[in-house]
Amino acid sequence: MTATSTPGLVTLGETMGLVTAGEIGSLEYARTFTYGIGGAESNVAIGVSRLGAPATWIGRLGADATGDMIERRLRYEGVAALVVRDRAFTGLMVKHRRFGSALSVDYHRAGSAGSRLSPEDLPQGCVETAGVLHVTGVTTALSASACDTVFCAVDRARAAGVPVSVDVNYRSKLWSPEAAGPTLRRLVALADVVFAGVEEAQLVLGAGAGSTAEALAQGLSALGPAQAVVKDGARGCTASVDGVAHRLPALPAEVVDPVGAGDAFVAGYLAELLAGRPAPERLRTAVAAGAYAVSVPGDCEGLPRRTELAALASASDVMR
């Protein structure tokens, strides 16, 4: 692997194949499926790339057809994919709707190539020349070596003066709150920018955390990050940026698939951060990107481009 030479987003983690049932109901009765890719960090990398900023993804993939597809998709999206091929299999997600809007996601990733991520997989100079390093709590839950890789990358970024972005991204199917809390709190304390949902912020801050989004944003910021953003779904977002409070409502959107909305939000914010734009503009783009993403099925398919965000703002049903 070689290091990227253009300052931009650098991220690392596991990307998996994504099987999605086409019908609503029990998975055993589904007869049509789509096959795509999904992963929190690669979703953000694709989202940042679509919004015009350089993006690099570092990870391990199996020497299999799914690994081949993931690498091709990332490169097609303009993401610099720094891939280590591993003898283990590429991980898999299975997504289906048991009823109505209740979405279920199962993981098949224990012992996967992505879970074997190692500090040695980080190319020399890659993290140190980034515009921002983005990591998530997902990768810290995969294995001891993956967790070590996240903290190694963060330490290298901080030593080089590179801003560190953390999305808490707690996954209950990967670890318990008791196991996750101390690690996630340690990670947040090393960040310059942190993103969390309401319950994720409460997990990081502990039982004494405030109940409002404003109190949670302030609590996260008090741990160390100058920029703390609480994602609050249909209620929008609340942020504390350099001690200044911000709150934006969500944009109206038809929710087709909520998975990936948080990653789209993060991508919108970080793309504007890389472009040097002020906090209100970062948050506006983040909210718009999240609204756009939920209107399209798939983890990363709905990540918007600049022109598409402009079309969303016009609220027109027909684009000619």
Each as own residue / partner, the long-range contacts of residues 62-68 (CB below 8 Å, 24 or more positions apart, any chain) are 62/86, 62/87, 62/88, 62/89, 62/90, 62/112, 62/113, 63/87, 64/89, 64/90, 66/16, 66/17, 66/90, 66/92, 67/113
E strand or H helix at 241: strand 237-241
Q: How many CA atoms lie within 13 A of 64 on its CB side?
A: 16
> Is 263 an annotated catalytic residue?
yes
| Cα–Cα distance for residue pair 305/111, rounded to 1 Å | 35
Catalytic residue among 232, 263, 299, 317: 263
Contact by Cβ (8 Å): 303, 44: no
What DSSP string describes 186-237? Answer: HHHHT-SEEEEEHHHHHHHH-TT--SSHHHHHHHHHHTS-SEEEEE-GGG-E
| Cα–Cα distance for residue pair 95/89, rounded to 1 Å | 19
Q: Which residues are catalytic?
A: 263
